[in-house]
Structure 1
Amino acid sequence: MKIAATIAEARALIAALREERRGSAQGNAVGFVPTMGYLHEGHASLLRRSRAESGISVLSIFVNPIQFGPGEDLDRYPRSEKADLELAGREGVDVVFLPSVDEMYPEERKATVTVTGVTERLCGASRPGHFDGVATVVSKLFHIVKPDKAFFGAKDAQQVAVLQKMVTDLNMDVEIVPCPIVREEDGLALSSRNVYLSSEQRREALVLSRSLREAAVLIETDVSVTSRQITNQVTKAIETSPLAEIDYVELLTFPNLEPLVADRELSDLRQSGGSVILAVAVKFGTTRLIDNVIMKLKEAPLHV
């Protein structure tokens, strides 16, 4: 495993590997997993997928300051470089790109990538400017690494939708590969921010996955249920936790992230085989957690 601290080093290492593995059995396609570090099993699953589908596996670790808003947790965002590199080694990563802020942003930025529409709800509404920061840094990383595929976890489903739109609209030659949410045995979605939770908050946070599971069963088994009934049920379930402070509970089309403005639209989506996302963001103390379930709707109810 090679570690690159500069853009020039990363480009040189990846180019050399592409040339070295040209025509080899595993191929020289590049799989890329961009992260902010403090890696966990969710990240490991992305790296395994990258390794399985690509001849060359590249990981980036960079806490991107421009996607944090005022008062957010940039300064205390968890970091664990040694443990991250150990995990990368175990998962067969070929190149780790580990740049500094000065390397990525050596001077005042004059260019920003902005994606509209899919950024206007969910976390985009709660964190103004967040997805400009995400799209800008991922665009930069794509130009540096030049991956064939980039792997992202579905827990950040809006991020996936934003990046898919960016890649499509700007004709970037990379495939965005969404990967399933990885959860603890009790259902809590893995997140680097889980380390902030107290033991009591950790227990209370299970209401997120539990309420989403119950709503998913309702959507699958009751074709007459309305979008309002679904979001009301999830909201009431989360409100049973005295530590939970709800940011949003929304049911939207996916991947366009458009609101279901009329109850009839849910029935229409069933008939067309469309997909929806039921997404939540909730704070426990100062820790903001997100979770979601994405479902392809079917006209006939399932017996579960």
Structure 2
Amino acid sequence: MANSAGMLKESIWRDGHFRALTRTAQCTYAQLLSQKDLDRAGMQPLQITKWAKGCNEMSVEDLQANLDELERERFVFYDEDTDELFVRAYMRTTEVTRYPQYLKSALKCAVMVASPKLRHELAVELRRLRKPEATKVADEIDPSDPDPDDTVTEPCENPDGTVPEGCENPAGTVNPDGTLPEPSRERVRVGVRELTLVSTQVGERCAPPPEFCPKHPGGTEDPCRACQRYRVQYSQWAADDAAIAAAEQRAQHQGERDAKRQAIAACRLCDQDGYNGLSVCDHVDRSATARAGLARARAALENPPAATG
């Protein structure tokens, strides 16, 4: 059945994490919750162009920026390769475990997710429901790795952003005010777990990881769990690298558009669309040059050169 209403709890406006979002990102989050294609698992098709039409002042680029912000803050995750979007806390917010039919529907929807990235995030949420049937589906869509060497602990939480005692800082650096540096958007998958690499430069791109394990540098046709983990890690790196490259390109295009808008706003010659009459305006005022040329021409006519001979 199509989703006919969005579930947005009143308490979210007192949540510090949500309040830290920009206003447009908050509105986009509310818009995603009200989409008719949102299923019980929190999944829906990625329809950026359609969502941008929900507001006359919203462009596709603006909505894309909102989605990037929401994903960076872990409210939603999306995959442009499979055209899917996942609202992370939706199952817990709607309390699907209280209604057996809702939980059954959510689990049925979960196994239909195509994106490996979203299957991993969805599996994490399913395990948080603490229901045997949900855990079973989580293990099916994103199997747990039994290798303890690959275990990645959750990051230390500290609301004020300072380095608490006993919390490791692998980079060994802090900002001048004693706070932790902003994490980069680089992520690699170790086994089936996600590890965020700490860096002082946001969006820094890294070299590709090995595609196969050290025992099989050229790959192997024999079953190898280590190679499988390396392939998952490499695939995640490739997806993240492509996402960073796309974000850089979008930022460049946005900068060019902003510069164009600013030039049009500051120009006295062209209209709001950047046209001077029927031509595209180059925003160069040539009136002063024309006046100076006219003055020189008049001076030459008034003071002709003396005849010689």
Same fold at TM > 0.5: no
Q: TM-score, normalised by structure 2?
A: 0.28
Which one scores higher on RCO, CA 8 angstroms, separation ≥ 6? 1
Q: TM-score, normalised by structure 1?
A: 0.28
Higher-Rg member (1/2): 2
Greater strand percent: which structure? 1
